[in-house]
Structure 1
């Protein structure tokens, strides 16, 4: 007979194991994007309510000193949804600083950085996650085409072609702003100590060395707000990227210096031979002025390029922060 008092004593306590959903962090720099933020939020939420409902998500917005009411809209979104987290800067510090801040705020198993202007369609998010689930640490969405003005297309083509030539041939010719990083890859990127002011994110991402998966898409025409990047901004961005990642300008200066010096000595020797024969090598000042202007212009150009490198060294030695946070707005649950 079985003692009724001992019935059930042999049963083990059952522990229900619930698989924790993977967390995806959306990192979104914001500058003068008031007209697109509501739409962007709804599109992202729609993906995670449907095709991505097996994942949790958070949206890490960085307000980079916007003056168009973007912060007020972000605060409104955060009150409606605790998964919205906001880093608000004291002023405008630039896109690199905004991206760095969003990366450091993110807690996800993977992070996705995407533009706030909706030119990069949000349907790229599920496509990147599919690649990540295959074990890829770094996924980029590159522009197979773009619905931009001819001027923007041409300047972007020139910019990214120069970046590819001087940094990495792996960078897509059309460039990219939208990408996914695994938590492991993000930790490596966050360990970089360079100031955002002197960094080229495209180069940094590829320098991690992880296998890259590339997702093509057509960049949409901008219908919300105006682009903050003009031709001269792209030119200066190229200078920043070039002097942050390459010693080639300095090597070119060395080669030019050797070449011009060699040419000068040979020319001087030729003039000496003509003088020995009693001939005049040239008449007037035209040749002298051309030589002075060309060589003088090259010297000024080289000094300017050296100055760019020295300026970056100076900025690094000051050890100032990439940005100053006015407030972080998030739910107490975070």
Structure 2
């Protein structure tokens, strides 16, 4: 990779934000101190995902004092994963770091990522060793999901990781060509391939505010991940049918041998089981059909209301999308 030998590389840090007024100033201050102390050049791209508080005003005020800040403002809330997608597309860096704006992913990990990148790795992801300030339920369900997803797909998606990662320019350029309306970014990065490695870190407690990923959104993200990278759920109906057949045979044999189960009881139980299996299969099938329907509409992935801090506009028409304006230094 030619860019890893650059004496003074440009590192883009992409931060999706949504209603972060309680802690965004602290994030800006921490990042400013970090950038000033580093030898690399930096740009900080804040993607405002339709905030309804004073987040955008705080960002505008900070940009007047801190010229490395860039702002991409969505016309409404399009979602965390699309905010990451937009930020990556607007980034100009030789490498791009994606991190949340709540300081749970500490900037102090970035130098370790850069060191691995300069060794030749195209992707360096943060692997959580410990998660402060999160409930046992969220920690347990996240761990279970990543292991389930990894077992269901042939894409090597690292466990115990989020979107906090550094990506080489060539990986970023490939991601920019992927127009998935319901993206699962960490899975897409793994799918791209190239040399990837992780760095261990302790995830910190949120500085301020509340999580923007309640259980409903976490379940939606999990479903996006599974249906984006695995066809296995589509065959659950077949497995269920086979299991039902085995249970039916065993139950009949047991009934004949012991005489303890009446035909009516057996019929009611199997009817309920078959009904649940049918509904599950239809729900899974509907999820995949819904994804195809969303993609077939060919709408823009997001709408940018305005940008600030970028110097040069480059219009790059993309397949299956309207013209997206990418602004680069």
What are the residue-to-residue correspondences of 1:215-254 with 2, within 5 Å? 215-254=199-238
CA contact (8 A) 1:60 1:106 kept: yes
Per-residue deviation, residues 35-72 of structure 1 (Å, max 9, x unmatched): 2222222222222222x22x211111100011121100
Pair 1:207 & 2:158 matched: no
1:29 paired residue number = 16
Whether the 8 Å CA contact 1:137–1:181 is kept in 2: the answer is yes
Secondary structure of the 1:66 match is coil
Q: Match for 1:184 among 139, 148, 170?
A: 170
Q: Does the 8 A contact of 1:82 with 1:331 survive in 2?
A: no
Contact 2:163-2:185 at 8 Å conserved across structures: no
Deviation at 1:181, TM superposition (A): 0.5
Q: Report if the CA contact (8 A) 2:155-2:190 is conserved.
A: no
In the alignment, which residue of structure 1 is the partner of 2:324?
A: none
Q: CA 1:168/1:71 → structure 2, altered by over 3 Å: closer, same or farther?
A: farther
Give the unaligned 5+ runs of structure 2. Answer: 1-5, 313-328
Long gaps (5+) in structure 1: 1-18, 275-279
Report which stretch shifted further, 235-244 or 116-125: 235-244
1:151 aligned residue:
137
Deviation at 1:269, TM superposition (A): 9.6
- Structure possessing the higher radius of gyration over alpha carbons: 1
Equivalent residue for 2:91, pick from 106, 129, 134: 106
RMSD: 2.4
Q: How does 1:2-21 map to 2 (within 5 A)?
A: 21=8
Alpha-carbon shift at residue 155 of structure 1 (Å):
2.5
> How many residues are aligned here?
304
Q: Partners in 1 of 2:72 and 2:81 — Cα distance? A: 14
Equivalent pair of 1:89/1:325 in contact (CA under 8 Å) = yes
Provide TM-score, normalisation by structure 2.
0.85
Matched, 1:137 2:137: no
Q: Aligned to 2:10, what secondary structure does the other structure show?
A: strand
Q: How does 1:1-334 map to 2 (within 5 A)?
A: 21-50=8-37, 52-53=38-39, 55-147=40-132, 148-167=134-153, 170-195=156-181, 197=182, 199-260=183-244, 283=262, 285-332=264-311, 334=329
Deviation (angstroms), 1:232? 3.2
